[in-house]
Amino acid sequence: MRVIKPSRPERLSRRLPGFVLNLLAILTLTVSLLGTRAAYAAGNIHWKPVPGAMMKLAGHPVKIWNIFQGDKKGKLFLLQLGHRVLIVDLQQHVVYGPPPADFAAVSHDDEFQGRGPLPADPRIPTIDWTERDVGPAELIQVTLNDYGQLLELQIPHPPDYRGGRY
């Protein structure tokens, strides 16, 4: 009995679907990573409200305020003080004062769609950054030089469902 080997084009055609799938997978991954990076570079962030957060200015509660979280790590926050908007970056210890027109309400849940901090945004001079864990929340204290007052934020820790206690 004689075994007939397929010719070279037939062998290539058998491997071609796997090659094409690998190429498409790499192309899709590259495009998705570039799209994510472009969206972050453009600053398109979906700001979600932080339930249970508290804010004080000069030791007194603010009348009209809200706190929104911009990233999952909890290092970028959008503060709404009346008609003023502040972006607090806890990682770099910087407070930005972007124009409020760059943010728009998305839904009835008070979620915002807007951009992140840009280098062109005016930085608000700050002193005395303090971050510490106070049990169920993280306390952030910053003195804003334009107000000349202490801004206090209490951001609750996310619940930990890993231990089965919730």
Among 105, 132, 100, which residue's Cα sits nearest to residue 49? 105
Whether the Cβ atoms of residue 116 and residue 76 lie closer than 8 Å to each other: yes
The model's confidence at residue 29, banded by pLDDT at 50, 70 and 90, is very low
Whether the Cβ atoms of residue 47 and residue 67 lie closer than 8 Å to each other: no
For residue 4, being part of any structural domain is answered with: no
**Predicted pLDDT at 146:** 83
> Residue range 35-55: average pLDDT?
67
Residues 25, 93 share a domain? no
Residues 51, 21 share a domain? no
> Residue range 58-64: average pLDDT?
88
- Containing structural domain, residue 22: 9-42
Residues 150, 78 share a domain? yes
pLDDT in tens, 89-101: 888 889 988 887 7
Residues 136, 113 share a domain? yes
**Predicted pLDDT at 23:** 59
The neighbour count for residue 78, using CB atoms within 10 Å, is: 25
**Predicted pLDDT at 37:** 39
Residues 102, 21 share a domain? no
> Residue range 1-20: average pLDDT?
58
% pLDDT > 90, the chain: 10
**Predicted pLDDT at 39:** 39
**Predicted pLDDT at 154:** 92
For residue 125, being part of any structural domain is answered with: yes
CA terminus-to-terminus distance, the chain: 71
DSSP letter at 60 equals E
pLDDT in tens, 66-113: 898 887 777 889 888 888 888 898 888 899 888 877 776 665 556 666
The model's confidence at residue 166, banded by pLDDT at 50, 70 and 90, is low
User: Which pTM does this prediction carry?
Assistant: 0.65
